[in-house]
Amino acid sequence: MIPSATPELPDLAGMTLVDVEALVARLGWPKFRSEQVWRWVHDKGARSFDEMTNLSAAQRGELATHTRVGSLTVAEVQTSRDGTQKLRLVTRDGFSIESVLIPDGEKTTQCISSQVGCAVDCQFCATAKLGLKRNLDASEIVDQVYLGRKLLADAGPERRITNIVYMGMGEPLHNYDNLIRSLQILTHNLGAKLSQRRITVSTSGLVPKLERLGNELVRPNLAVSLNAANDAIRDEIMPINRKWNIAKLLGALRAYPLEHRRRITFEYVLLAGVNDSLTDAAQLARLLRDVKCKVNIIPYNPHPEAPYARPSDAAVDAFQNECKRLGMATYLRRPRGDDIDAACGQLANRAQGGAAIVPLRIRKGPPPAPAVD
Ligand code: SAH
Ligand code: SF4
């Protein structure tokens, strides 16, 4: 069992409109109140009952005995020289999580976390070193977006969140029910109104959950952290591969119902001397030749807990050029916010006090498969 947040009054941010309708019916209020209450939190971003001015003081009081608003508080906002902002957010039971706002022309993408830490233990990832502390509940996933939205709104009218990526701390498919609930809430047309086409869920490849995701009504874009073109290397750097190897992963992805003109994104973190040779590029091209996909190449972002290095720019270019020559749609992901440790794989809240960071052990033999289902 993965621990969840301590039970307390439910946060309206984690409630669907159907949940609010049920609550309003229980309170004996007229049905139209459901939409009013829902809009305050999900559309207008209210963070207290006092803001709900079309409810009477008595009604606000009654609502406050059954629910609360606001699961996270902003502890720190760091701004990178490239405009990327990293938010350190604190849960009600005192965990820090991180979320990143990445401006890109007219667009702003928010990268959100799905767990405190992660159980998957990828060898190159800073979040992995925390271990898994607990799942975020749906309100904590959604509240990251509402706080990001507020930060942008306070800065001026010209920027708003256009895209969401579940690429922060944690493995979203390992927190499946809260992931789905958060997607239902964020895409609701009376709330944040984010299009599912502008939401991407990134996974290390939990095959049974990928199969389940394919049957959901709300289906985001899919990004899959492949990071190796053969099982020997993937076993070594992503122990989850010992449970669901590349063949099983690609089998599930081939069966995944992709909508018209949608492609799967593969992420490939380039680690110097590990997976960055031209032979790796050729193997990758062979592996993905019949998959509707594109490949995002992410040069490794260093952090002190992992024994890897970023390849030289020339090696990165050579790898990408070989992929392109072999017909793969490949894109190079520039590191964003790396001066504030906000780039891919660097989210580990050192502000957590370091207590959770376990020292890196040099293992003899292959690493064990993680205990994720
Ligand atoms: N758990 C999910 C989403 C969070 S990790 C997943 O693994 O997909 C988001 C991305 O960051 C993944 O593609 C992962 O491969 C990449 N990543 C992790 N550590 C990294 C690092 N140190 N440098 C660059 N990318 C990294
Ligand atoms: Fe978890 Fe993703 Fe990091 Fe792997 S890369 S440890 S799955 S957060």
For the chain, domain boundaries: 12-66, 73-340
Q: In this structure, what token pair is assigned to residue 210?
A: 């990928």
Confidence bin at 177 (pLDDT 50/70/90): very high
Rounded to whole angstroms, the Cα distance separating 257 from 189 reads: 24
What confidence tens digit (pLDDT) does each residue in 155-172 have?
A: 888 889 999 999 999 999
Residue 127 Cα: closest atom of ligand 2: 3
Whether residue 365 has pLDDT greater than 60: no
pLDDT tens profile 304-341: 889 999 999 999 999 999 999 999 999 998 777 777 77
Domain 73-340, CATH homologous superfamily name and number: Aldolase class I (3.20.20.70)
Of 100, 116, 120, 124, best ligand 1 pocket probe by most atoms within 8 Å of the beta carbon: 124
Distance CA 168, CA 163 (A): 14
* Residue 132 half-sphere exposure toward CB, CA atoms < 13 A: 23
Instruction: Give, for ligand 2, the residue of 2, 100, 112, 122 to mutate: max count of ligand atoms closer than 8 Å to Cβ.
Output: 122
d(CA 69, CA 83): 29
Give the 3-state secondary structure of residue 74. strand
CATH topology (fold) of 12-66: DNA polymerase; domain 1 (1.10.150)
Tell me how crowded residue 236 is: count the other CB atoms within 10 A of its CB. Answer: 17
Residue 92 and residue 212 in contact, taking contact as beta carbons nearer than 8 Å = no
Give the number of the ligand closest to the Cα of residue 272: 1
Q: What is the pLDDT of residue 174?
A: 98
Q: Whose CA is nearest to atom 24 of ligand 1?
A: 300
- What is the DSSP annotation of 32-73? HHHHHHHHHHHTS---SGGG-TTS-HHHHHHHHHH-B--SEE
3-state secondary structure of 165: strand
pLDDT greater than 60 at residue 358: no
The verdict on the CB of residue 125 being under 6 Å from ligand 1 is: yes
Q: What is the pLDDT of residue 256?
A: 94
CB of 98 within 8 A of CB of 346? no
Question: Which residues form ligand 2's pocket by a CB distance below 6 Å?
Answer: 118, 120-122, 125, 127-128, 170-171, 204, 225
* pLDDT score of 348: 62
CA dist list (Å): 322 to 276, 288, 297: 11, 14, 12
Please give the backbone phi and psi of residue 89, each rounded to the nearest 5 degrees, phi first.
-120, 145
Cβ of residue 297 lying under 6 Å from some atom of ligand 1: no
Average pLDDT of the residues in 28-52: 97
Task: Tell me what percent of the residues of the chain surpass a pLDDT of 70.
Answer: 90
pLDDT at 359 over 50: no
Residue 246 has pLDDT above 80, yes or no: yes
Q: Which residues contact 257 (CB under 8 A, 6 or more apart)?
A: 214, 219
Two domains, one topology: 12-66 and 73-340: no
Which of 317, 221, 339 is CA-nearest to residue 270? 317
The catalytic residue positions are 98, 344
Question: Which band of pLDDT confidence, cut at 50, 70 and 90, is reported for residue 222?
Answer: very high
Residue range 184-210, pLDDT digits in tens = 999 999 999 999 999 999 999 999 999
Residue with CA closest to ligand 1 atom 15: 225
**How far does the centroid of ligand 1 lie from the alpha carbon of residue 300, in Å?**
9
Phi first, then psi: give them for residue 336, nearest 5 degrees. -110, 135
Please check the confidence at residue 367 and state whether its pLDDT lies above 50: no
Mean pLDDT of 273-277: 98
Q: What percentage of the chain carries pLDDT values higher than 90?
A: 82
